[in-house]
Structure 1
Amino acid sequence: MKPEATTIDTGGIPALTPPARRVVNTVMGFREWCLILILSVIWGGSFFFVGVAVKDMTPLTIVLCRVGFASAILLAVAWLTGRKLPTSPGMWGAFFILGALNNLIPFSLIVWGQTHIPSSLASILNATTPIFSVVLAHLLTREERLTANRLAGVLVGWVGVAVLIGIESLGGFGVEVLGQLAVVAASVAYACAAIYGRRFKAMDPVVVATGMLCGSTVMMLPVALIVEQPWHLAPAAASWLALLGLSAVSTSLAYIIYFRVLAVAGATNILLVTFLIPASAIFLGVMVLGERPGWNAFGGMALIFMGLIAIDGRLLKRFTRRTG
C-alpha cells in the first residue's frame, strides 16, 4: 500500500504519512542497539571518506557528488518501493530549506574544514551538535526548555570545544583554527536542521530524505560548477571509491537507518549515536590515514561527552536512583 496524502500540523505544508504509525519505545531492544552501532560506524566513516577525497578533489565538488549520488540512489529506492514524491511547490520549498540546513551548509563547511584539520578532530567537533540543539531549542521552541543539567552540559561541552581548538588560537586565527570553527559552524547548522525538521515528523522518512537530497543537489550543482569548475580535476581511483562510500553508505544507507531508529526508539535514543561516531572516526583516521590526535583531542572529547551525558540525563537519573 502506498502512503496517502494528508495534512498535519506543519505550518500548512501537506505531508505524506505511512499507512500505520510505529509505536515509539523509550527502551531500545537488541536490534535498535545494533542499528545504533552500525550507524555510528557509518557516520564515523564519512569523515574518513572525506579525508581520502580531499587529497585531490575540491570541497564543493565533493559535496555535489555526495548529495547527487545519494539522491539518485534514494530516488531509485522510492521508485522501487512505490513511494510518490509530493508535487506541492510549498513542500519542495520546505525540502530545499531542510537540504540547505542539513546538507548544503554543513557538508560544505565540514569538507572545507577537513582540508585543514584531521578527520578525527572534525568528528569530535561535530559531536557538539546536541549541545547547540539544546540552546536553539530553548530559544526557538516552547517544548524543550533549558534545565539545570542541560545548562551544565552546555557549559561543559563548550569548555571541551575550547580545549579542542587550543589556547594557542588566542594568538591569531590561523587556517587550522578556521577549519575547526567551520566544523563547529556545521554543528550549528545541523542543530537548526533538527529543529526545522520537526515539521516533517509525520512524513514517510524515505520521502523526506529523498526530497531533501534532491533539493540539495539542485542548489549545489550551479555553485560547484561555477566556483570550482570540477571538469579540470583528475581524481584518483581512491577518491572515486571514497565518494561512492560517502554517498551510498554514509548518506543514503545512513538516512534509512537513522529514520528507522528514530521511528522506533525516538529522538532521545538516537542521540546515543553522537557518543559513538568519534570513536570509529578516530580509529579509521589513525589506522588508515596515519593521523595522530594530540592530548587536547582526547581531553576535549572527554569534556564534550561529559556535557552530552548531562544533557541526555539518563545516566545521571540512574546514578541518583542507586545512591538515593
Structure 2
Amino acid sequence: MTLRELRHRARKVLGPIPYDYVAGGAGEERVLADNEKAFDRYALLPRVLSGSETRDTAVDLPGARQAAPVLVAPTAFHRLVHRDGERATARAAAAEGAVLVTGTAATTAVLDVVAAAREAAPRPPVWFQLYLHPRGEVTRALVWRAEDAGCTALVVTVDSPVFGRHTRDLRNGFTDLPPGFAAENMRGLPGAGPDALTPIPMSPAVRWPDLAEAVRGTSLPVLVKGVLHPDDAKLAVEHGAAGVIVSNHGGRQCDAVPAAVDCLPAVTEAVAGRVPVLLDGGVRRGSDVAVALALGASAVGVGRPVVWGLAAEGETGVRRVLATLRDEYDHTLALCGGRRNADLTADMVVRNGGAGAR
C-alpha cells in the first residue's frame, strides 16, 4: 500500500471534520499544495559505479541516533483519528527506530507518550515540541515536564505568532475539541487549577530573548522549528540552537510563503555546518528525502502521512509509513550511487528542465 493509498483509506474511515482538520491548510491552501509540488521541481542527477551492496543510512541528531533520516514531525490531536492516539504513534516510531516529536497539542500527556514508546524500545528518542508562552513560568513548566518524562530534545516552534486561518475548520465550525479530548500537556500549569487547561500559547509579543530565557537551565538540546529566512537561521544558532528545522508549518500558517524545500539551500548555507538542518513539509516519497539531504538537510520530518497511517491502520499504519519511506530512500540512495547519506550532494540536484538547483 502506497502512502497515497493510505490517505484514501484514512479518508474513508474518518468523518469529514477530523479529515479536514488534518488535510487542510491556511487560507486558500496554496502553500499546502506547493509543499508537495515543490519536490516535483527537483530531479536527482545520479553518480554511477560508486555504490555499495549495503548502505549506511543512520543519522546522528541532537539527543538521538536513528536508523534512517526520517522522523515523525509534531502533529496535534492524534486521538481524533484513532482511539490509541499518540500512544500508538509512539510505539510505532520506537519500533522503527525513528524520533517521535510529540507536542504541546498532543491529546496524550508527554509522560504517557514516552512510556508508550518504551513499550517498543528500551531507550526511544522522543523530542518535545513546545510554543513559547508569554508567561515564562508556563514555558518552563512545560520544559520540566518534558525533562521529567525522559525526552531527549526540545523543539521550539517559532512560526506561530497567531493561529493560522484554517478555512476548512472555519467552514466546518471546528473551533474546539469535542468532549473527552484535550491538549493534555496544557493541564494543571502555573496559574491554573490542578485539572484546568491553559490555552495553547501563541503570541506575537514573543521574541528571541524569550527563547533564551525559556530554555535557560535545561540540559536538553533545543531545535528551532519554523525557520524560512536564512538570517533567522543565523539568529537561531547565535541563540544556542542545537538544530534548525526549515518548515512552514505544513502550510497551516501564512499562505504566502515559499515551499519549505525551496528555502532549504539558503538556510543550509547560512548555518554553514554549525548545527544540523532538518526539514518538514511535503515529503511523501523516499526520493523526496534524498533531494532534501542533497540540498543540505540532515533529516526530514513527516507529519500528515503518519496521521493517515494512524487513522487507516493504527500502530501498524504508522510503522508502514516509516518503513516505506526508509526503504524507498535506501533504494534511491543506491540508484544515486551512494553508500551513506553524505554521498548525496547539492551538485546531484537539478531543476527539472536541467538547470542547477541553486
TM-score above 0.5: no
In terms of fraction of residues, the more strand-rich structure is 2
| Larger relative contact order (Cα-Cα within 8 Å, sequence gap ≥ 6) | 1
In terms of fraction of residues, the more helix-rich structure is 1
Coarse TM-score class (shorter-chain normalised): under 0.3
